[in-house]
Amino acid sequence: MKNELQKITLLGGVMLLTGFGSLAFATGWASAGQWLLQASLLWGLVCHCVWQRLPLNKADLHAPFYSHLGWGNRLTALRGFLIALTGGFIGLPNDTQGLMWLPAAFYTAAAILDRFDGWAARRSLQVSLLGNELDIRFDALGLVIAPLLAISLGVLHGSYLLLSVAFYLYQWGLQYRIKLGLPVHALPPNPLRRTLAGFQMGLVAITLWQGLHPALTQIAGIAFMLPVLFGFIVDWWIVTGRLSVQVLVGLERFSLVWLQPGLRLVLVLGLVVLLPYPPFAPALNIVLWVLAGLILVGCGGRVAAGLLIVLLGLQYPITANSLLVAVLIVTASWIVLLGTGRYSLWHSGDEWLTRYEGS
């Protein structure tokens, strides 16, 4: 197993040197050198993270060690490598702007692999504690590195880093309580945590492609961030004993019965006010009305809300009522994250989104 990890580490180093040579040819030695330094440091961090947790490469604490990493962990390590490649582009000079599709592709691939590394672990019958730990660590690392790049490109607001910091503050707080001998209560299972994390990766990947107006993606980024920050606060109150699990169940019910249906109504009413204004063409108005109808009745509402954000992004900036447009973006973002709730005709894709494949 250690020999396998050594080979993976070496292979990553060779690929980094290859990337350095290619970038040097395309942009010059200075930019390529900066990319190599940053990407190498991140790859070293990824490898250190794997090496440090190798004793967890077993099904549970009392199970025997696996003899090899397994396909799930290999894909997770690949995710870490792709994140390192992405981080190499942070702060590069303007002469590399034409190559910014590369980090977008790298991080998009890493986000997609996040769905399949656990599947590979299950298919190969090698689900491990190591895979679960690396999955969490690399999700968090990716949501530091990729947002930093997105912020440097102007497509995410700087406040989005609050989400990046929140995870590490939460983990530090747990360790500090344990060190002081204070109680740490177990969190109840909640598939929404994984769903929200997956959506964050998807959002950041989309913004890195720079296909939508930066002002819109900045608003969407803040909207996507807020429910996750709220979730960290609620989880912290639960693990510290300030909030009972029953209160959490009540919050989930409130969201399902009142908040999510209310978001559908707010979004549709906002569209009714907005649609008479330019620059919407008649054909686009028809599409928006169809999406509004799907959202209102809760038929594939998450997909419809996502498409609505994209259409608004393609038309942005909309000068008719910028505040109303911002409200629409926030509302649509929350529907994408949370779903359409009670009184919906068809919860399209909800089961797939909330299913965690494991690592």
Give the pLDDT mean for 69-78.
93
Q: Which residue has the tokens 């930019």?
A: 31
Digit-coded pLDDT (tens) for 201-213: 999 999 999 988 8
Min mean pLDDT across 149-153, 217-221, 253-257, 318-322 is at 318-322
| pLDDT reading at 295 higher than 50 | yes
Digit-coded pLDDT (tens) for 154-176: 999 999 999 999 999 999 999 99
Give the pLDDT mean for 265-275.
87
| pLDDT reading at 322 higher than 70 | yes
SS3 category, 346? strand
Give the pLDDT mean for 258-272.
93
- Which pLDDT score, from 0 to 100, does residue 276 have? 66
Give the CA count within 13 Å in the CB-facing half-sphere of 26.
Answer: 17
- Which pLDDT score, from 0 to 100, does residue 100 have? 94
| pLDDT reading at 29 higher than 70 | yes
- Which pLDDT score, from 0 to 100, does residue 94 have? 75
Min mean pLDDT across 44-58, 247-261, 340-354 is at 340-354
- Model pTM score: 0.91
Residue 58: strand pairing partners: 65
Give the pLDDT mean for 24-37.
93
Better pLDDT: 239 or 191: 239
| pLDDT reading at 356 higher than 60 | no
CA distance 199 to 223: 12
- Which pLDDT score, from 0 to 100, does residue 314 have? 77
Residues 6 or more apart whose Cβ sits within 8 Å of residue 136: none
How many angstroms separate the first and last alpha carbons of the chain?
17
- Which pLDDT score, from 0 to 100, does residue 352 have? 59
Domain ranges, ordered by start, for the chain: 1-153, 172-359
| pLDDT reading at 281 higher than 80 | no
- Which pLDDT score, from 0 to 100, does residue 321 have? 65
- Which pLDDT score, from 0 to 100, does residue 62 have? 84
Cα torsion through 75, 77, 79, 81, rounded to 10: -140
Over the chain, what is the mean pLDDT?
90
Better pLDDT: 316 or 77: 77
Give the pLDDT mean for 296-300.
92
- Which pLDDT score, from 0 to 100, does residue 358 have? 47
Name the residue type at position 50. Answer: V
Residues 6 or more apart whose Cβ sits within 8 Å of residue 315: 279, 280, 284
| pLDDT reading at 280 higher than 70 | no
pLDDT band at 240 (very low <50, low <70, confident <90, very high): very high
- Which pLDDT score, from 0 to 100, does residue 318 have? 63
